[in-house]
Amino acid sequence: MAAYVHVNLRVIDPAKQAALAPRFLAALQNAGGRILHFGPVAQVLEGDVEPLPLAGIFEFPTLADALAFYHSDVYGPIKLEREEAQQARMFVVEAD
């Protein structure tokens, strides 16, 4: 079953964000993931919590692949640097 990581974010350091982007993409692709969407939130449809301005959806072959990527030694340093570059909320779902 495929898994989808959703991230909702605000860039707080554009230079750091730009430097991380190619490393993140390479790590994501090497882990079997791909970007389905990365860009502005188009419109809030429901809920009282205001989303951060950007959203990303990343697809992995399985939930195990998504979790392995998130906890990997390759992504670990990127994740630490990402926390300096952006404010983010992230979660993963598994599709049937």
Predicted confidence band at 96 (pLDDT cuts at 50, 70, 90)? confident
Fold for the domain defined by 8-41+52-94: Alpha-Beta Plaits (3.30.70)
Predicted confidence band at 65 (pLDDT cuts at 50, 70, 90)? very high
DSSP class of residue 29 equals: H
User: What token pair was written down for 54?
Assistant: 């950007």
User: Can you give the pLDDT at residue 50?
Assistant: 87
Q: What amino acid is encoded at 17 in this protein?
A: Q
Average pLDDT, the chain: 95
pLDDT tops 90 at residue 49: no
> Which residue, 15, 25, 13, is CA-closest to 74?
25
Cβ neighbourhood burial of 55 (10 Å; 0-12, 13-18, 19+): middle
